[in-house]
Amino acid sequence: MRVETPEIFDDLQRKLMTAELRPGEKLKPSELQGFYGCSANTVRDVLLRLSKVGLVEFEMQRGFRVRAATSERRHDVTRFRILLEQEGARLSMLNGGVGWESRLTAAHHKLSHIEKQIAGADDLSPYLGLWSDAELEFHETLISSCGSPILRENYGDIYAQFRQQMVGLERDFGSSYFHSIIDEHQAVLDAALARDVEACRTAIYDHLKRNL
């Protein structure tokens, strides 16, 4: 069955962010064309879009490859994510009303519920996809009232790169990790709802500094 272009983009981006497609792996348009039941031009266009996001590398005569995961790139991506998220949160605290507060609280409630389930689980695999989506929703909601479409667009791209680098370097996603980030996400939420810009900046940095 033929798959539409946005669905192909979303599916490949998810596989790249979760390292289902491993760093450095060659991406063959002919294989993807057959898998998705689409044209070669469609696959090429999607891969070029993913290269602009930063998840795929393209070289003339060599084709497409999943971007390599390195400590240096993870550090660089993390620094940029911190800058964008701190500024986006600051602007959202200035501009956001009760609707923003409600959306942020709801996103955190969902994320916290999933993280508590993971923290007590022996097998994390059934939860990781749900957690990744919920974590992105929480952080995107945090900056959603910043008033800058460009900031939000760049944040989406840098979050995708961050997740790809983090998972690609096989960081420990054991239960102890989730026990830690439950408190970290709570600290971000509390500071944001209190409109305490400096506390929120600190909470965001503390949440991400392990990747620097």
Overall average pLDDT of the 115-133 stretch: 84
Backbone dihedral angles phi then psi of residue 57, each to the nearest 5 degrees? -110, 140
**pLDDT band at residue 167, thresholds of 50, 70 and 90?**
confident
**Which of 66, 87, 113 lies at the terminal end of a domain, its last residue?**
66
Overall average pLDDT of the 37-56 stretch: 94
Q: Is the pLDDT of residue 4 over 90?
A: no
Answer whether 53's CB lies under 8 Å from 161's CB.
yes
Query: How many CB atoms sit inside 10 A of residue 126's CB?
Result: 10
Nearest Cα residue to 104 out of 27, 195, 170, 8? 195
**pLDDT band at residue 1, thresholds of 50, 70 and 90?**
very low
Q: What is the pTM assigned to this prediction? A: 0.90
Report residue 94 as tokens. Answer: 């200035």
Report residue 128 as tokens. Answer: 């990781």
pLDDT at 173: 65
Q: Is the pLDDT of residue 3 over 80?
A: no
pLDDT at 169: 85
Residues of the domain holding 41: 5-66
Interatomic CA distance for residues 165 and 188, integer angstroms: 23
Interatomic CA distance for residues 130 and 137, integer angstroms: 11
Overall average pLDDT of the 6-27 stretch: 92
**Which of 34, 66, 98 lies at the terminal end of a domain, its last residue?**
66
Q: Are 26 and 88 contained in the same domain?
A: no
Q: Are 159 and 134 contained in the same domain?
A: yes
What torsion do the CA atoms of 204, 209, 211, 212 make, to the nearest 10 degrees? 120
Q: Is the pLDDT of residue 134 over 70?
A: yes
Q: Domains in the chain: how many in total? A: 2
Q: Mean of the per-residue pLDDT values for the chain? A: 93
Interatomic CA distance for residues 204 and 57, integer angstroms: 29
Q: What is the CATH number of the domain that holds 53?
A: 1.10.10.10
pLDDT at 7: 92
Q: Is the pLDDT of residue 19 over 90?
A: no
Q: Residue 21, Cα to own-chain centre: how many angstroms? A: 16
In this prediction, what percent of the chain has a pLDDT beyond 70?
95
Query: How many CB atoms sit inside 10 A of residue 165's CB?
Result: 28
Interatomic CA distance for residues 150 and 85, integer angstroms: 13
The tens digit of pLDDT for each residue in 63-88 reads 999 999 999 999 999 999 999 999 99
**Which of 34, 49, 66 lies at the terminal end of a domain, its last residue?**
66
The tens digit of pLDDT for each residue in 83-101 reads 999 999 999 999 999 999 9
Backbone dihedral angles phi then psi of residue 20, each to the nearest 5 degrees? -65, -35
pLDDT at 2: 53
**pLDDT band at residue 155, thresholds of 50, 70 and 90?**
very high
Query: How many CB atoms sit inside 10 A of residue 112's CB?
Result: 17
Q: Are 145 and 101 contained in the same domain?
A: yes
